[in-house]
Structure 1
Amino acid sequence: MGKILVTGGAGFIGSNFVHYLLENTDHSVVVLDKMTYAANEMSLAGLPADRFELVKGDIADTDIVDPLVKAADAVVHYAAESHNDNSLNDPTPFIHTNLIGTFTLLEAVRRHKTRYHHISTDEVFGDLELDDPAKFTETTPYNPSSPYSSTKAGSDLLVRAWVRSFGIEATISNCSNNYGPYQHIEKFIPRQITNILAGIQPKLYGEGLNVRDWIHASDHSSAVHTILEKGKIGETYLIGADGEVNNITVLRSILRLMGQSEDAFEHVVDRPGHDLRYAIDGSRLRAELGWEPQFTNFEAGLKDTIAWYTDNRAWWEPLKAEVEAKYAKAGQ
């Protein structure tokens, strides 16, 4: 597996995966990215020119996708519209990228018999009650609750159908909430960190009791690479690091780690249809493929993330005013 095509590689978890591959393997990487608002070319700065190439284009454009897939030994498909709030405001881009884009890639993979790995989310399973001891597993029925999660569920089902109907060599992974370097500041953890760095009071949706299962993007990257190399074709693997924490606890931890009072935040109107709890059972990935996360202490991962945003103000400061203005308009 020499050359890997990474779609959405200028986005958050995609760029982390690109860095992981170039720092830990001998692979060369081609990134295909539409460079929407969620992408940042600075996230790919300084990568070795002899092993890395950035192609700007739409994954739903067959003329761009086909030759790239033909030249690749494997495709890892990260590209997605992924912000729930945006999907509630306008579902259209989610249909285009998450469904039409995935279909376009699958057809190219089918033509050229290229190994394919599909990145998905735990949000396709819906949510769990706060007091429910259960976790999502590979056999949990899909029950998406937003245009974002429903289009991701649809893309997963397309992959499964193309495996069964056309025999493509594909695997799927559904991961819990990522955090770490290069995450757009519209998302919960980087928004709070950059608010504090910018002298803005952090914001909390509702009462902050919603639980997310957090995983550092570096651990997600190592898990995906493990599945790409060792995963059984046609199978789905859940990626999680046993990081269940509710939002108010996350925010208070960030405030404390940044030398602020744990109560120095503002409650804002909750998101419509806000899922209560996500929880991943990642035991199959560990037992069958031998993967283990490195960031097993969530606060240690938060410290690493806070340090990155503190040291990389030039990466996020140009975005800050626009992001906060958008949230202010929504009362959030």
Structure 2
Amino acid sequence: MAHPAPGPLTGARVLVTGGAGFIGTAVRDTLLRAGAHPTLLDDLSAYDPAVFTLLGTGRSDPHLVFGDVGDETLVRHLVADADYVIHAAAHSTVQGCLADPKTAFRSNMAGTDTLVRAVADTPGVRRLVLLSTAQVYGHGGPDADATRPRLFTETQPHQPLNPYASSKAWAEQHTRQLLQAAGRDVAVLRPFSVYGPGQVPKPGAASWVVAQFAMYAVLGQELLLNGGGVQVRDFLFRDDAAEAIVRALTAPGAAGQTLNLGTGVQTSVRDVADQVVAHFPGTRIRVAPPAAGDPLGGRADTTLMHAALDWAPAVTVADGIARYVEWVTATPQAVPEWMRAETSASRLAAWSGSAPARS
């Protein structure tokens, strides 16, 4: 039987911070298929243990090192044994950063500094891939037309609207400054709305609309469309996101680059709701008041991504939604208790006052 030819990551040691998360576990699986040896650094604070079990990780994961990205001694030990580093660790929702800014600072900024200084001092690391976010674009700039969806390009200035986005904008600049001064290679990736099987919503993470709508439909609840669901997003399937992140480790064209990760296709929130309802006939859609600070959104300019990675996403939104619906239908225990306790009335009441910008 013929064996596949070795790829660029065959035998490579790859450290993935935040590796037990929704994206990190997909990156782990992609690295394993590529013949790499992943090490996941995670303190397992992002979810309840049951969610990590759904993601196929936890304390028993042989690839996991339980620890904090801010633990300098541990981080330097792990970086010293790595050929590549993917930095995905973050306090990763807008609401979470607003509710607990101290933890957000420690994870998103102090933790990033700890890791980047370790990489700067380790000549054996061939490249650091930093996961930023499309939220650094905000509404798209002070001259943006708030009534029209935007095309977000990597060269436009940062306009973060919340502490989470601000911390990522800072992480981009800090990482570049330290690693360029040390002569290390870095690629910065800005994922758009990543979704797919295994995603379990957190309170306040309104951009996870595929997961939320599918779970509300499983529960027999209404799908509420803030402002009628005219907002648009660029939805990127989890497996495609992981493939792009892993390619960015070794792609020559990614060296020193900042790249959007998206499909380049905009999909309205209303369209997502309609597609979910197609899988759950009888589910009611209800127009709700607009959420304060919820941007109209837009899509990624993927020109640089295609050129740098020689790659394009493979999963359409329709197929991705179908895969998520299949997963959550087969895994009803994935629906969190806070969603089960909600009603349309309680959700509407939560939106009745002033609300922060949503993720």
Shift of 1:150: 0.9
Q: 2:90 aligns with which of 68, 74, 80?
A: 80
Letter in 2 for 1:165: A
Q: What is the distance in 2 between the residues matched to 1:300 and 1:130?
A: 30
1:168 to 2:174 alignment = no
Q: What is the distance in 2 between the residues matched to 1:46 and 1:61?
A: 21
Shift of 1:269: 5.2
Write the mapping of 1:1-332 to structure 2, written as runs, cut at 5 A.
1=9, 2-22=12-32, 24-38=33-47, 40-45=51-56, 52-113=62-123, 114=125, 115-128=127-140, 129=145, 132=148, 135-186=151-202, 187-230=208-251, 231-261=253-283, 264-268=284-288, 270-295=290-315, 297-314=316-333, 316-317=334-335, 320-323=336-339, 325=341, 328=346, 331=350
Q: What is the distance in 2 between the residues matched to 1:133 and 1:270?
A: 16
Closer/same/farther in 2, CA of residues 43 and 159 from structure 1, 3 Å limit = farther
1:246-289 deviations in whole A, cap 9, x for unaligned? 2122112211232234xx13445544322221321111221243
Letter in 2 for 1:9: G
Alignment coverage as a number of residue pairs: 323
- Would the aligned equivalents of 2:22 and 2:55 in 1 still touch at CA under 8 Å? no
TM-score by length of 1: 0.88
1:163-214 deviations in whole A, cap 9, x for unaligned? 3322222111111111101112233221221111122323333332221111
Q: What is the distance in 2 between the residues matched to 1:210 and 1:274?
A: 8
- Would the aligned equivalents of 2:254 and 2:308 in 1 still touch at CA under 8 Å? no
- Would the aligned equivalents of 2:130 and 2:187 in 1 still touch at CA under 8 Å? yes
Shift of 1:43: 4.1
Q: What is the distance in 2 between the residues matched to 1:124 and 1:8?
A: 20
Q: What is the distance in 1 between the residues matched to 2:341 and 2:170?
A: 32
1:5-49 deviations in whole A, cap 9, x for unaligned? 111111111111112222x210111111121133742145389x9
Of 129-138 and 117-126, deviating more is 129-138
1:74-100 deviations in whole A, cap 9, x for unaligned? 111111122123333343322221111
Shift of 1:236: 1.2
Question: For residue 205 of structure 2, what is the aligned residue in structure 1?
Answer: none
Shift of 1:149: 0.8
Letter in 2 for 1:97: S
- Would the aligned equivalents of 2:219 and 2:340 in 1 still touch at CA under 8 Å? no
Shift of 1:233: 2.6
Q: What is the distance in 2 between the residues matched to 1:46 and 1:124?
A: 30
* 1:178 alignment partner, SS class: strand
* 2:198 alignment partner, SS class: coil
Q: Which has the larger radius of gyration?
A: 2
Q: What is the distance in 2 between the residues matched to 1:112 and 1:224?
A: 21
- Would the aligned equivalents of 2:138 and 2:159 in 1 still touch at CA under 8 Å? yes
- Would the aligned equivalents of 1:135 and 1:280 in 2 still touch at CA under 8 Å? yes
Letter in 1 for 2:231: N
Closer/same/farther in 2, CA of residues 215 and 13 from structure 1, 3 Å limit = same
Q: What is the distance in 2 between the residues matched to 1:257 and 1:9?
A: 32
Question: For residue 5 of structure 2, what is the aligned residue in structure 1?
Answer: none
Q: What's the Cα RMSD here? A: 2.5
* 2:263 alignment partner, SS class: coil
- Would the aligned equivalents of 2:133 and 2:191 in 1 still touch at CA under 8 Å? yes
* 2:234 alignment partner, SS class: strand
Q: What is the distance in 1 between the residues matched to 2:44 and 2:287?
A: 33
Letter in 2 for 1:194: M
Letter in 2 for 1:145: L
* 2:153 alignment partner, SS class: coil
Closer/same/farther in 2, CA of residues 133 and 313 from structure 1, 3 Å limit = closer
Q: What is the distance in 1 between the residues matched to 2:117 and 2:342?
A: 37
Closer/same/farther in 2, CA of residues 259 and 326 from structure 1, 3 Å limit = closer
Aligned residues with identical type, % of pairs: 28
Letter in 2 for 1:238: N
Closer/same/farther in 2, CA of residues 288 and 116 from structure 1, 3 Å limit = closer
TM-score by length of 2: 0.82
Unmatched runs of 5 consecutive residues or more in structure 1 = none
